Amino acid sequence: MAEKGFRNFSARAVAKAIGYSVGTIYNVLGDFDALILAINAETLRRWAAHLEACLDRTGNARIAALIDGYFDFAEANPNLWGALYEHRLDGEMPEWYRAELAQLLAIVGREVRVAAPDLEAEDADRLAASLLAMVHGHAAYALDGTFARIGIADPRAIALARAEDVLTQISGRTSVARPDR
Amino acid sequence: MAEKGFRNFSARAVAKAIGYSVGTIYNVLGDFDALILAINAETLRRWAAHLEACLDRTGNARIAALIDGYFDFAEANPNLWGALYEHRLDGEMPEWYRAELAQLLAIVGREVRVAAPDLEAEDADRLAASLLAMVHGHAAYALDGTFARIGIADPRAIALARAEDVLTQISGRTSVARPDR
DNA sequence: TAAAAAATTAGACACTGTTCATTTTTCTCG
DNA sequence: CGAGAAAAATGAACAGTGTCTAATTTTTTA
């Protein structure tokens, strides 16, 4: 996957690589989706570990470290990172995979609460998801070449600037926009 | 494509639907990528037209109208919109398709220049691309179910709030962060 | 109408995910 | 140790895919 990319990934190639036959993979995992999910879950774990490592060796600018870590990982593992989003499973997402995703979001949530301590817990979670989506959008356009194609050389700096905009705007605020209730 | 989605899309099904044989499609278009590109280009045109229509029937809040238009279109055509991003062509992107993409970005650029008239032209373009990436990230997480999975009900409102944060922060500023030069 | 050009076809090819009866390996326990 | 049960692994077969191309049909041209 890391070498071929999601588009050219095949269960048979995996079987050959690990010295087993195709059938074994399907006996163990079940189907193709499960194979992808297993790979993507490992990617999520590595990604989360990378983010924690980035945070460990940084000082105050923890949100910036998070964004840098996001880009670092995506740029270092474009195919693995891409597979996370190129794969759309049909049917429900298994609980164990959702937990893996939640863990990644929890890291962001934790740091948002540090950066904006005045926010209510629920608002902090909403802001964390929003920041993650924002950075994801920039990274997606960066890695698929959209930014490069329109002559924008440093998407990472732009994403950092946007996050700064948002955090500056949020600081001192105790609640963020939310649906009517 | 609109019905089956990118994952279950096949050239043979298209051939059957339009009453031709598989070979004809490949004689005319060239290969599978070209078929997808033709469909996606049509989607881009319809999307751009939708955004212009949204802008036509709005007053001052033009950036908000743009974001609403983005979500409207994506939610009304999830499979077509999804195909835009699920498809990764190998090799260079053809010039005519790049032009189609540029036209969509041009709409955003034009409106950003209206919303932030003090910005230099280049900075406005950078901000436009950044806003587009930001909204894209929120829409991507909305349509793939990420937001719903963590209990966030209204991603559109969040995206709008983020855009407001950014624009408030940008107004009065005459240059945005950019790489060293 | 006859020849040239263009459009269309059907079939073959190599590849895919998927299934499953068969074989091989491993473990258990008398 | 060795026979029987359980588990693991196999590879052939199936329906599906994108892709190519020689052969055929249709259209245009002279």
Q: Which residues of A touch B169 (CB under 8 A)?
A: 165-166, 168-169
**Residues close to nucleic acid strand C (C-beta < 7 A):** A 9-13, 22-23, 26-27, 31-33; B 19-24, 27-28
d(CA A175, CA A122): 9
Query: What's the rounded Cα separation, in Å, for the pair A60 and A163?
Result: 15
Indicate yes or no: strand D within 7 A of the C-beta of A17.
Answer: no
pLDDT exceeds cutoff 50 at A104: yes
Q: Determine if strand D comes within 7 Å of the CB of B31.
A: yes
Least Cα separation, residue A151 to chain B (angstroms):
9
Mean pLDDT, rounded, for A72-79: 98
Where is mean pLDDT largest: A53-62, A130-139, A166-175? A130-139
Question: B169 vs chain A: nearest CA distance in angstroms?
Answer: 6
pLDDT of the residue at A173: 66
CB contact under 8 A, B177 and A161: yes
> How large a percentage of chain A has pLDDT more than 70?
94
Mean pLDDT of chain A: 93
Residue B59 confidence (pLDDT) above 90: no
Pick from B7, B144, B169 the residue to mutate for testing the A interface (most A CBs within 10 Å).
B169
Which residue matches tokens 């991003």?
B85
Return left, alpha or beta for A50; rule: phi > 0 is left, psi -120 to 50 is alpha, else beta: alpha
What is the band of A127 on the pLDDT scale with cuts at 50, 70, 90? very high
**Percent share of chain A, pLDDT over 90:** 89
Q: What pLDDT is stored for residue B172 in this prediction?
A: 58
Average pLDDT over residues A83-108: 95
Enumerate long-range contacts of B89-92, CB under 8 Å, 24 or more apart. Answer: B89/B33, B89/B36, B89/B37, B90/A7, B90/B33, B91/B33
User: Is the pLDDT score of B181 beyond 50?
Assistant: no
Nucleotides of strand C within 7 Å of the protein's CB atoms: 7-12, 15-21
Residues 6+ apart with CB under 8 A from B7: A88, A90, B86
Q: How far is the CA of A113 from the C1' of D19 (A)?
A: 54
- Predicted local confidence at residue A2, as pLDDT: 87
Chain B's closest residue to A175, CA to CA, is: B161
How far does chain A reach from its first CA to its final CA, in angstroms? 45
What is the residue-averaged pLDDT of chain B? 93
Threshold 0.85, pTM exceeds: yes
> Cβ B153–A179 below 8 Å, yes or no?
yes
Report the candidate in B172, B166, B131 with the shortest Cα–Cα distance to residue A169.
B166
Is the pLDDT assigned to residue A27 strictly greater than 50? yes
Q: Residue A172's pLDDT band (boundaries 50, 70, 90)? A: low
- Lowest mean pLDDT of A49-53, B118-122, B141-145, B176-180, name the range: B176-180
